[in-house]
Amino acid sequence: MAKIAQLMLLLAVCLAVGLSLAFDGWARHYLFLPRVSLAIPTMAGKVAVVTGPTLNGIGHISARELARAGAHVVLAGRNAAKAAETMASIKAEVPAASLEFLQLDLGSLAAVREGATELLRRHRKLDILLLNAGTMANPFELSADGFEMQFATNHLGHFLLAYLLSDVLASSAPSRVVVVSSAASFIPEMLGPASALNFSAKSDVDEGSAQAYGPWTAYGRSKLANVLFAQELASRFGNESGVYVNALHPGGIRTNLARHIPVTGGERLALLFTLVAGPLLMSPEQGAVTQLFVATSPEVEQRAITGAYFHPQAREVPPTVLATAANREALWTLSMQLTASFRAGFTPQSVKW
């Protein structure tokens, strides 16, 4: 009986590790640490912007660790009260943290422009732009500008923000743009033509897309857009600019990102996620490792890493096969079209937009 119990325990451990690896959870943190240092060097004198600083999320942890290293951190989000909770939590752990809040609603292009304008009024340098905010598997809804919300929040708002801040990023070089994507960027590749991946026209991402909408397909498209955007922005800045732009999948993490699952997937799926997936996922501290590496590691500048894609924990890997020059250009063209009226008066000199 003792041998049977030992065998059962071994099988349970193997199953837990295997499932955690499948979910990019805690097992990946312990088994796949990179061969480079994860220690954050001093960030004294640097200014970092972190979008999506929700309490106990990876944006919160990233802001905390950047502040601990000496950076002045701008927490950019929609809700001032929630940001205040995050800032209070950081201050409790890092009393000397230098923090400020910036009002930024990525679901409204007008609000993104207002936020960028205010940031430029306050700061003349920007060393790290961490595009961390996101939403996942929402029911279909439109942004303030009439675009499908996941595409609008996860990609288009960040696209406009980077456009408006591109000159200050260039003048602050060496600087970094860190685009938080997801393993969901592979969903369109896995689904193939049936995923209706298309960035060719406004009707692909506005109310015209409602009939073909699937919450996970749309999430995958928005996360693919993150990868395409990072690669194209890196290309347009160029290797000699000193602006390093990279995308990453942070891993499967226990945060409130999955809050829409009860609505779009049903209560049973939500319960399954809570009972099965939850214990297998990374903590927010573990989940922030890859983006903090990409944002701060000297390795990025030493090896001139730009336009790359990282996987937990901080490992550079190939992106989806759909990260092609043609798809990058199509997304770029559409994004420029959709943000045109909100870019008026801004003419960045550092990037061939």
CA dihedral (82, 86, 88, 93) in degrees, to 10, reads: 170
Provide the 10 A C-beta neighbour count for residue 122.
10
Rama region for 120: left / alpha / beta (φ>0; ψ in -120 to 50; rest): alpha
Among 30, 163, 213, 219, the active-site one is 219
Residue 105, token pair as written in the block: 């609603």
Q: Which helix (H) or strand (E) holds 84?
A: helix 80-93
Q: What angle do CA 272, 259, 16 make, to 5 degrees?
A: 35
Q: Which residues of 174-194 are buried (b: 16+ CB within 10 A; e: fewer)?
A: ebbbbbbbbbbbbbbbebeee
- Active-site annotation holds for 219: yes
Question: Which pairing describes strands 98-103 and 243-248: parallel, antiparallel, or unpaired?
Answer: unpaired
Residue 149 contacts residue 107 (beta carbons within 8 Å)? yes
Distances (CA, A) of 342 to 113, 156, 158, 317: 7, 12, 13, 35
Give catalytic residue positions: 219
